[in-house]
């Protein structure tokens, strides 16, 4: 390694000894080398990857004499004849040079929060966004954050990447630059760390989950892991606990959406990741293994995670760790509540009632029921339910508004009760027949609400009398 590069990799020289107390010295994973180059041969259907906005962006960099390439996963996916999920771009231009260039070209710059790490976010056209990152060296790291130094050397930038299949780059002329036999590994469907696995994991513990995600994306079979890699993961599993729940769930969700999801999750448990990714210490392994055997269709990631849990309290704890979306939280709790339902001759009856008599979104509740049936392995019932379309409810909000009701809790309860009566009639009652009972339904629910309110008020009053403040 040349002396100039060695100087750049001395954190104490750059930042002082106080810095080194928190960050460990970052060495290059391997020596930079001359790349192998090939011309990318894409099927015609993949030409759409190079959108007019991307071509315009490339031309801007060429115009201002800055090198520009597509890097990482997009190059890997194109070589695998897969349509890239996202396009990452890199350049020899610094963030300041990019901002100056984009201002001249009247390109909208979206944010500046990534500039310390060399990343600039822009919008091309009406809704196409890109992030372009300056070539860099990770000078030092604490396992989560890195201090970087910018460079113009593509080989040195490739050294900081995690896996050989992610080290390649693609220039504006369609030439692929391969510094570490990434093309060969893509063709063999092999996932290799760039350098020593344990060292690379300690630089960024999220690489443990990235390993399993990319394994599912490139491997030919479920259990061809390198024992050395699994040992490095097991030895450093505790480091995952330092990562935010949102970032963990983002990776776990992708793992469970990928190939070999059950087998990979099983391997993750075997290397001791469960407590560090938010799962309880006492896993419901019997339920998980049974689910592996009977699953008959695609399951949502949160549904698979629910199989490890024993009750809704554990689902709420998982939500606290992951900060789930409302949809994920509702779906997870729905699975926990209905996965042990007893099914009889008319098994779909109560699920159909849930679709009709619900405050939830029609499509959301259907999705949850389909996931429950998939979870239970009820293939025939699932097909029957998918082919069933709920008839249109004859009574709507407008009918109640016409009778002077104002939207609110009582309004919703009256509408739900009318839907329930219509469902119980076998969908035979007309709007006129249902509205005949409007007054009775209204007053019945009003009285129930008042009585409930009195009981609640009495309960609070009793609690107040027993309080130390009274």
Query: Confidence band (pLDDT; 50, 70, 90) for 150?
Result: very high
CATH classification at residue 346 = 1.10.3090.10
Q: What is the pLDDT of residue 16?
A: 44
Cα 425 to chain centroid distance, Å, stands at 43
Residues 424, 383: one domain? no
Query: Confidence band (pLDDT; 50, 70, 90) for 17?
Result: very low
* Residue 461 belongs to domain spanning: 400-465
Q: What is the pLDDT of residue 457?
A: 46
Residues 236, 379: one domain? no
Torsion of CA 236, 169, 35, 58, to 10 degrees: -150
Q: What is the pLDDT of residue 96?
A: 94
CA 394, CA 392: separation in Å to the nearest integer? 6
Residues 248, 294: one domain? no
- Residue 44 counted as domain residue: yes
> Taking 80 as the threshold, does the pLDDT of residue 297 lie above it?
no
Cα 254 to chain centroid distance, Å, stands at 6
- Residue 46 counted as domain residue: yes
DSSP percent split of the chain into helix, strand, coil, nearest 5: 55, 10, 35
What integer is the mean pLDDT of 285-306? Answer: 92
CA 370, CA 173: separation in Å to the nearest integer? 47
- Residue 103 counted as domain residue: yes
- Residue 470 counted as domain residue: no
Residues 194/163, Cβ–Cβ less than 8 Å: yes
- Condensed to tens digits (0 to 9), the pLDDT of residues 151-166 reads 999 999 999 899 999 9
CA 252, CA 231: separation in Å to the nearest integer? 20
What integer is the mean pLDDT of 228-236? Answer: 98
Domain boundary among the residues 331, 365, 390 is at 390
Q: What is the pLDDT of residue 361?
A: 87
> Taking 60 as the threshold, does the pLDDT of residue 124 lie above it?
yes
- Residue 9 counted as domain residue: no
Residues 240, 286: one domain? no
A 10 A CB-CB count for 221 gives 9
Q: What is the pLDDT of residue 465?
A: 31
Task: Identify the residue whose tokens are 């009889």.
Answer: 344
Residues 360, 448: one domain? no
Closest CA to 169 of 83, 78, 47: 78
Residues 209, 354: one domain? no
What integer is the mean pLDDT of 380-407? Answer: 92
Residues 284, 344: one domain? yes
Domain boundary among the residues 144, 178, 194 is at 194
Domain boundary among the residues 390, 410, 433 is at 390
CATH classification at residue 155 = 3.30.460.10
- Residue 273 counted as domain residue: no
- Residue 107 counted as domain residue: yes
Residues 282, 133: one domain? no
What integer is the mean pLDDT of 435-444? Answer: 91
The residue among 28 and 358 whose pLDDT is bigger is 358
> Taking 60 as the threshold, does the pLDDT of residue 459 lie above it?
no
- In order of 398, 431, 464, the CA distances from 404 in angstroms are 10, 17, 38
Residues 248, 184: one domain? no
Structure tokens at 98: 């990019």
This prediction's pTM: 0.82
- Residue 335 counted as domain residue: yes
> Taking 80 as the threshold, does the pLDDT of residue 27 lie above it?
no
The residue among 107 and 23 whose pLDDT is bigger is 107
Q: Which residues of 115-148 are buried (b: 16+ CB within 10 A; e: fewer)?
A: bebbbbbbebeeeeebbbbbbbbbbbbebeebbb
> Taking 90 as the threshold, does the pLDDT of residue 212 lie above it?
yes
- In order of 345, 371, 377, the CA distances from 380 in angstroms are 13, 14, 9
The residue among 189 and 147 whose pLDDT is bigger is 189
Query: Confidence band (pLDDT; 50, 70, 90) for 464?
Result: very low
Number of domains in the chain: 4
Residues 107, 209: one domain? no
Residues 356, 227: one domain? no
> What stretch of H or E contains 403?
none
What integer is the mean pLDDT of 19-30? Answer: 47
The region of weakest confidence among 27-36, 262-271, 286-295, 322-331 is 27-36
- Condensed to tens digits (0 to 9), the pLDDT of residues 86-106 reads 899 999 999 999 999 999 999
Structure tokens at 428: 């035979």
What integer is the mean pLDDT of 32-59? Answer: 87
CA 12, CA 401: separation in Å to the nearest integer? 73
3-class secondary structure, 464? helix
Residues 56, 111: one domain? yes
Average pLDDT of the chain is 87
């Amino acid at each position: 390694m040349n002396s100039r590069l060695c100087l750049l990799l001395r954190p104490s020289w750059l930042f002082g000894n106080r810095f080194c107390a928190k960050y460990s010295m970052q060495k290059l994973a391997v020596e930079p080398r001359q790349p192998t180059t090939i011309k990318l041969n894409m099927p015609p259907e993949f030409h759409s990857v190079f959108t007019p906005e991307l071509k315009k962006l490339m031309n801007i960099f060429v115009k201002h004499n800055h090198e520009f390439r597509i890097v990482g996963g997009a190059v890997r996916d194109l070589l695998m004849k897969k349509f890239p999920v996202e396009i990452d771009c890199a350049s020899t231009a610094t963030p300041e040079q990019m901002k100056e260039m984009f201002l001249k070209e009247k390109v909208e710059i979206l944010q500046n929060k990534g500039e310390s790490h060399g990343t600039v976010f822009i919008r091309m056209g009406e809704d196409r966004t890109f992030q372009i990152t300056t070539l860099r060296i990770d000078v030092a790291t604490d396992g989560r954050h890195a201090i970087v130094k910018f460079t113009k050397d593509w080989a040195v930038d490739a050294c900081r990447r995690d896996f050989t299949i992610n080290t390649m780059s693609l220039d504006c002329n369609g030439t692929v630059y391969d510094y570490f036999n990434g093309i060969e590994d893509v063709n063999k469907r092999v996932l290799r760390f760039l350098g020593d696995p344990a060292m690379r994991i300690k630089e960024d513990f999220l690489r443990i989950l990235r390993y399993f995600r990319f394994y599912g994306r490139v491997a030919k079979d479920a259990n061809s892991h390198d024992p050395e890699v699994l040992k490095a993961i097991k030895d450093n599993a505790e480091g995952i606990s330092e990562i935010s729940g949102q970032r963990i769930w983002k990776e776990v969700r992708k793992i469970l959406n990928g190939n070999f999801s059950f087998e990979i999750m099983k391997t993750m448990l075997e290397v001791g990741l469960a407590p560090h990714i938010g799962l309880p210490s006492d896993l419901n392994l019997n339920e998980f293994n049974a689910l592996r055997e009977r699953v008959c269709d695609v399951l949502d990631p949160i549904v698979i995670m629910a199989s490890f849990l024993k009750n809704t309290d554990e689902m709420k704890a998982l939500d606290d760790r992951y900060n789930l979306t409302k949809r994920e939280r509702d779906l997870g709790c729905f699975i926990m509540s209905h996965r042990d339902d007893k099914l009889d001759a008319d098994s779909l009856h109560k699920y159909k009632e849930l679709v009709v008599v619900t405050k939830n979104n029609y499509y959301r509740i259907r999705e949850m029921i389909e996931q429950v049936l998939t979870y239970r392995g009820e293939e025939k019932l699932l097909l029957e339910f998918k082919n069933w379309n709920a008839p249109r409810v004859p009574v709507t909000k407008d009918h109640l508004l016409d009778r002077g009701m104002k939207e609110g809790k009582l309004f919703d309860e009256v509408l739900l009760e009318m839907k329930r009566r219509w469902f119980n009639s076998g969908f035979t009652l007309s709007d006129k027949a249902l509205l005949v009972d409007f007054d009775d339904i209204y007053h019945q629910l009003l009285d129930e609400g008042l009585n409930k309110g009195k009981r609640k008020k009495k309960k609070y009053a009793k609690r107040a009398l027993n309080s130390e403040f009274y």
